[in-house]
Structure 1
Amino acid sequence: MKIRPLTIEGAWEVTPAQHGDSRGTFLEWYRFDALAEAVGHPLDLAQANLSTSARGVVRGIHFADVPPGQAKYVTCVSGAVLDVIVDIRAGSPTFGAWEAVRLDDTDRRAVYLAEGLGHGFCALTEGATVAYLCSATYRPGHEHGIHPLDPELNITWPVGEPLLSGKDAVAPTLAEAGESGLLPSYDTCVSYGKQLQSG
């Protein structure tokens, strides 16, 4: 398993070693110890989600209040998606930046994103199935979104007309979320991360 940091602090790409023969393939898609060594603390697994999406569906950009936030470990178990991580932490050196990683059922990559980062993806195939492990359970009223087509973010979604949920379609822009006080603070996220590292 290879784990490398992405350009946005708090985000990593994970590439598992695959072992295949005529019977099929085996791989470790998540390793508690390997991720903890890279990140600096273990992922406190509280919830596991699974979604299926039609081709062209865009989900996100979603995030949760910090603390506790919601760190995520995401992989695509069937089909393919373009996974997008957005730095929405007010005061971050890379505020407003985004990075995309293709997740599919061939390379079996995963991404990890720390608390306070925004997350979304675009389904590149029919029935794209995404599984993600979360560090905290869903908390109504503490989960938020930013419009995935916000021109300020200028995310290059690989579809002409993304299909959005009703909730995502009316989500605020990054600027509007900042003006209304919804965005997590970079300093708060860093401080919370240090608390997790110290146990």
Structure 2
Amino acid sequence: MKVEETPLSGCYIIEPAVFEDDRGYFFESFNHKKFEDATGVSIPFVQDNQSQSQKGVVRGIHYQCGEWAQSKLVRVLSGKVLDVAVDLRKDSPTFGKHFSIVLSAENKKQLYIPRGFGHGFSVISETAEFSYKCDNYYNKASEGGIIYNDPFLGIDWHLNEDEVIVSEKDLYLPTFENAKL
């Protein structure tokens, strides 16, 4: 397993060692000890989530606040997405900056997103199945979000505007400037 820190402190790309032969492939999708040895982060995951979406779907930018904040380990089971992490930690030198990476079933890369970050993704293949582990339980009263096309963040979702499909709820999220962080 290869672990590489992104330009956003505490946010890591994980690339598993994949063993392939004529039967198919095998890889260890997560190893707590190896991750902790590489990053110094001990992460007790308590909830797994999975979604399936069609091309053009943008989910996010979402986050949990306060005692319900969540770290996430995200990956794609089928298809391809552009995954985006936004640093919402007010005391961070990269506050308001984002990092994006293509995650796919083919490249098998994962992204670890620590607490204090917003998260979203866009589907850039015909369909995608997306999976993520969380270190805290979802709490509706603690959820927050930022509109996907916020001009301050300026995220390129790798989609044309006429391709974007956003939920009714996500269409009315506040801008970065007006978000309750």
- Taking structure 1 as the reference length, the TM-score comes to 0.87
Which whole-Å CA distance do the structure 1 matches of 2:61 and 2:100 have between them? Answer: 13
Choose between structure 1 and 2: higher strand proportion: 2
5+ residue gaps, structure 2, are none
In structure 2, what is the Cα distance between the partners aligned to 1:10 and 1:118?
A: 13
Give, in angstroms, the shift of residue 29 of structure 1: 1.2
Q: How many pairs does the alignment contain?
A: 179
Whichever residue aligns with residue 23 of structure 1, its letter is: R
Partner of 1:128: 128
Counterpart of 2:37 in 1: which secondary structure? helix
Map of 2:170 onto structure 1: 168
Q: Deviation above 6 Å: which 4+ runs of structure 1?
A: none
CA distance in 2, matches of 1:66, 1:35: 25
Residue type matched to 1:81 in 2?
V
* Per-residue deviation, residues 134-153 of structure 1 (Å, max 9, x unmatched): 00111011011111100110
Partner of 2:51: 51
Q: Compute the TM-score of the two structures, normalised by the length of structure 2.
A: 0.95
Q: Shift in Å at residue 68 of structure 1?
A: 4.1
RMSD: 1.0
| Paired residues of 1:68 and 1:115 also in contact (CA < 8 A) | no
Query: Structure 2 CA distance, aligned partners of 1:68 and 1:104?
Result: 28
Deviation per CA, 1:141-183, whole angstroms, max 9, x where unpaired? Answer: 1011111100110001111122111111100000011xxxx21
What one-letter code is carried by the residue in structure 1 that aligns with 2:101? V
Structure-2 change in CA distance of 1:66 and 1:34 (3 Å): farther
SS in 2 for 1:67: helix
Offset of 1:54 from its aligned partner?
0.4
Structure 1 stretches lacking a partner, 5+ long: 184-199
Contact 2:68–2:138 (Cα < 8 Å) also in 1: no
Q: Could you report, residue by residue, the CA deviation over 1:9-45 in whole angstroms, capped at 9, with x for unpaired residues?
A: 1200001111111110101111111122233232111
Partner secondary structure for residue 178 of structure 2: helix
Partner of 1:63: 63
Q: Percent identity?
A: 38
